[in-house]
Structure 1
């Protein structure tokens, strides 16, 4: 298989769905493997959410996370409502890798064309038009990009090694100039991945408050790892676009989610409720304020209260 997706509580309409998918699919198209950094600053806008089994089938679980894939606009358009059980699944089948991949090639020696190894490989290539001029151009550019990085790193290492060994260089000045030029060029080859605005603003909020944090996108909706009250917590980030500031907010947490957290997570965990329109963030330490015994019974939701004591200020 090409990708292993994490267990998430997200659906097609969830605010965080696309961000979860882009992380589970390594910031690249699940079908053709085009990478975000290969399309520059428009990366996020060039990628979409695809229903692997298309909506036209009217399946009851069509919008659930396990049926959603991160893909580029081109592949989403080519696939459209096409469906056949023989279509290779990037999350279960060996397509480009593994012991017996369905598709080989794609390098200079193959004129950058993919070569099907079986009928399913042929159907996959034809469905996404992987041997079109555009796709071949992407693969050619990718290989050139990778080669440039190798040359740059090799030359930088060679120059630094000579300087470290104190070898007298007649052309030392020239070497330094060359090194500076390479260092200047390297960042151009290593484009930064775009960030999801919601997560970026939440990260900035915590940084501004002096709270140590890092985006982790771990299993079970654990989005952010942060330090609070002398402890480390894994937290789900929940967005609320309300514009009314209240003394107390009442929130509902799914009992199934709570039970999973208590049973699967071997760490402190909580929820960050972020209100970007009023610039407020509240931290509710679930593992401190709720007990596993409170998740039993017939109720599907657990109500909690968020107040001033939870405000991150």
Structure 2
């Protein structure tokens, strides 16, 4: 399940600069930063496609109000959903002279530098649980377990389960179809057919769960 969340992300090696070797205004880098972040909010991990492409914010990881020299530096830019961006605002609980993004208790996790799986565990119910460092601070500050995000994570988990089970069922049916056509109905074929039926039933159950989640999600 870890593979579904918080992929390792890397920055573009060389961000475009003006002829005078200065960076462009930060908005110039929106598309590249989106690519760098794999079109995911670096805080709650929602994918742009999971929220109807309603738009992400270009976020200054170190707030420009407190780090004006980094305003246009693309290495200080990340992509976040609108609500995470609003909750984060200009928060920076550390002394700006330290250079650190967190002190082990409060602060922010640099998504390009650290494996976020070391800081967050994701349950089958779609909840983030704090593992270490500033995880609790971030869960609370950014409301990372707000209902809309739990819904997205549950649906992602269920859809991954559907995809996996579908592949299993398809593989089984591909294997036994020639035997059935040749009327070679052995006990092994019957057993595999039952396995495929069980897999299809699991897919139907997962789809029903997704439908219920969507029906109860509200506007």
TM-score range (shorter-chain normalised) is 0.5 to 0.7
Q: Which of residues 134, 144, 151 is equivalent to 1:120?
A: 134
So what's the TM-score if we normalise by structure 2? 0.64
Structure 2 match to 1:6: 12
Structure 2 match to 1:38: 50
Mapped pair 1:103 → 2:120: yes
So what's the TM-score if we normalise by structure 1? 0.46
Structure 1 spans left out of the alignment, 5+ residues: 183-188, 190-313
Structure 2 match to 1:72: 81
Structure 2 match to 1:26: 38
- Deviation (angstroms), 1:143: 0.6
The answer to whether the 8 A contact 2:27-2:58 is kept is no
- Deviation (angstroms), 1:115: 1.8
In structure 2, C-alpha distance between the alignment counterparts of 1:59 and 1:141, rounded to whole Å: 39
Moved over 6 A (4+): none
Structure 2 match to 1:295: none
Structure 1 match to 2:4: none
Give the helix-richer structure, 1 or 2. Answer: 2
> How many aligned positions are there?
162
Mapped pair 1:159 → 2:173: yes
In structure 2, C-alpha distance between the alignment counterparts of 1:149 and 1:80, rounded to whole Å: 37
Shift of the 24–76 alpha-carbon distance from structure 1 to 2, 3 Å rule, reads same
Cα RMSD over matched residues?
A: 2.8
Structure 2 spans left out of the alignment, 5+ residues: 1-6, 17-23, 94-100, 103-107, 184-192, 201-206, 208-219
In structure 2, C-alpha distance between the alignment counterparts of 1:148 and 1:74, rounded to whole Å: 29
